[in-house]
Homo-oligomer: A and B are copies of this chain.
């Protein structure tokens, strides 16, 4: 009954590099790229050549429909993958902008394909990463399709909380890197609605908000509002890259087990 956890984080990140061991013959380090606040990683129609993994910072990805409407599709954070939207057609279908000064690993897609060919593990990482993106989209669709404004905002906050937590930051206090409008676009709401609901939550004592800084005071209450079951915390797949920017080569027992014997 999981489904309703509408915001499975697209994160991975945060893994202690314990069991990771990198191949003997090291390929060159992935190149990095610095992005300034407000700068664009790529835009709609740009040719697809590389994937990115966030190293520092928070981004927003969004699409623009034919008639100019904008829809934010995600807020990729540290450890998360960016760029898959270009693979299908060879041209990027969305735009990605840094919400703060940031840095990414740059992965020529050809390398990913090669990696995927050379190792079963690499193949699974690639496929799984993409599959995860599909599931994440479905969750977002549930939210946009069936939930009310309060529920959406609560869910959004809890998702952020979880992701920050996984990165080792506070789960209850953080800065929103995005504007109300961007939040609204992501949630299918108008910025005023988002603002109103945040104020309302504050009035109820669920949280404290001042501009971009948020402090969650009553996680259980928010959880209840969001309508998700307390237990579940679906784990995102580990990142394709380790902290050094190398492909994660390790053969994770857990993963293999689940995939091969995998029925429950």
Cα-based distance from A240 to B9 in the complex (angstroms): 21
Task: Tell me which residues across on chain B come within 8 A of A258, comparing CB atoms.
Answer: 90
A22 at the interface (CB under 8 A from B): no
Does the CB pair B44–A110 fall under 8 Å?
A: no
A23 at the interface (CB under 8 A from B): no
**Number of copies of this chain in the oligomer?**
2
Task: Tell me which residues across on chain B come within 8 A of A87, comparing CB atoms.
Answer: 3, 127-128, 131
Task: Tell me which residues across on chain B come within 8 A of A65, comparing CB atoms.
Answer: 1, 3-4, 6, 142, 146, 227
Does the CB pair A14–B264 fall under 8 Å?
A: no
Does the CB pair A3–B90 fall under 8 Å?
A: yes
Does the CB pair B71–A146 fall under 8 Å?
A: yes
Known A-B contacts A126-B127, A130-B131, A263-B90; the reply to A49 vs B141 at CB < 8 A is no
Task: Tell me which residues across on chain B come within 8 A of A144, comparing CB atoms.
Answer: 141, 144-145, 188
User: Which of A24-32, A111-119, A203-211 forms part of the interface with chain B?
Assistant: A111-119
A66 at the interface (CB under 8 A from B): yes
Cα-based distance from A165 to B108 in the complex (angstroms): 37
Q: Most chain-B CB neighbours within 10 Å: which of A66, A140, A264?
A: A66
A253 at the interface (CB under 8 A from B): no
Known A-B contacts A49-B263, A127-B127, A131-B84; the reply to A228 vs B66 at CB < 8 A is yes
Q: Look across to chain B and name the residue whose beta carbon is closest to the beta carbon of A128.
A: B88
Task: Tell me which residues across on chain B come within 8 A of A140, comparing CB atoms.
Answer: 137, 141
Minimum distance in angstroms from A198 CB to a CB of chain B = 19
A: residues with CB less than 8 A from B are 1-7, 9, 13-15, 44-45, 47-50, 63-67, 69-71, 73, 84-91, 93-94, 108-110, 113-114, 116-118, 120, 123-124, 126-128, 130-135, 137-138, 140-142, 144-147, 185-188, 227-229, 232, 234-235, 237, 258-259, 262-264
